[in-house]
A and B are shown apart, each in its own frame.
Chain A
């Protein structure tokens, strides 16, 4: 498998992860999607590394340069208020294909774990009304908005987080709440050069 253009340290870590999972007997399938700059199609802003591990999706988005694509995604300069609103919209775009348009009452959990300032894994699931756990497949749009929210909260609170979680409980009128995992709690390691 050739490196589609990801920074070498991150690429090597991914390869090792897949090798370890495969040798442990897990089923691993990988797809790459290059996200081009809409104003310059020759420029890659980010790469989505979509990993299906034992039939559950986990998407790691790797930015070419941290924050470079915020303008292209339409969230450049957003403070916390519009970011909280936009996160609600993108979360609905993640869940509605499964639960139906306009439904916001299902239990939902989405997680974003930072790998480095320019990369994170996004994964999650919905608990259907019948109690079935259904995985969701995120993409770069979800990553960028959730990551921007995490960075803005980090800036205001003057602390670093390794993970942000988005939760919605059944029967809670679609209320979305956020949990933040401080860096030292999870043993987060950064590839910051």
Chain B
């Protein structure tokens, strides 16, 4: 079982980009329940967003992200990464690795989508709308991750807005007109 010493040390080391690149700071440490070693929530904040590392029985099981100050939690990064990249969150369930290897793996897993997600979170309504659209698109199978990537590349080559939101909007318009 990983204790809180190790969890904090590994978060600081493996996710140092949260501090260096995004200006996050530790703001809260909260046990999951009244019993010791049952897990902790470690909250980081920057100017506009909050991240919560949630551990259960000493194992990191999710990282949540939300816009700062809103009363509800946003989304877990496992789900967001799957929505945005199509990658399955296998690395969250790795066994027989050192704590440092585990945290490094999780950090490298989420880092590709982080800039995008942290940009979206600045505008709560856009964040919510984009995620809900991605969720329904995945369920319907109409818009795939590969289609999103291709559309974004196309928009980028045209020198226009190639953000996730712009790509989704184009694909949806195209889907309605077809």
Contacts and interface: CB of A to CB of B under 8 A. Distances in A.
A87 B8 CA distance: 18
B31 interface: yes
B24 to A, nearest CB: 10
B104 interface: no
A80 B5 contact: yes
Residue picked from B4, B26, B30, B36, most chain A C-beta under 10 Å? B26
A108 B36 CA distance: 19
B27 interface: yes
Contacts of B33: 173, 175
A81 interface: yes
Given A81-B3, A85-B36, A172-B34, A177 B28 contact: yes
A174 interface: yes
Contacts of A176: 31
B82 interface: no
Interface residues of A, number: 21
Contact of A175 (B4, B8, B9, B34): B34
B25 A156 contact: no
Contact of A177 (B3, B5, B31): B31
B12 interface: yes
Given A85-B36, A172-B34, A175-B34, A153 B3 contact: no
Contacts of B19: 158-159
Interface stretch (A66-74, A90-98, A178-186): A178-186
A84 interface: yes
Contacts of A175: 30-31, 33-34
A174 B30 CA distance: 12
Which range contains the number of B residues in contact with the other chain? 10 to 19
A76 interface: no
Residue picked from A156, A178, A179, most chain B C-beta under 10 Å? A156
A48 B26 CA distance: 29
Contact of A84 (B4, B9, B28, B34): B4
Given A81-B3, A173-B33, A157 B8 contact: yes
A23 B8 CA distance: 46
Nearest to B41: A177
Contacts of B57: none
B8 A80 contact: yes
Interface of B: 3-5, 8-9, 12, 19, 25-31, 33-34, 36
27 contacts: A80-B3, A80-B4, A81-B3, A81-B5, A84-B4, A84-B36, A85-B36, A153-B26, A153-B29, A156-B5, A156-B8, A172-B34, A174-B34, A175-B30, A175-B34, A177-B31, A178-B28, A178-B29, A178-B30, A179-B28, A180-B25, A180-B27, A180-B28, A180-B29, A181-B27, A182-B26, A182-B27
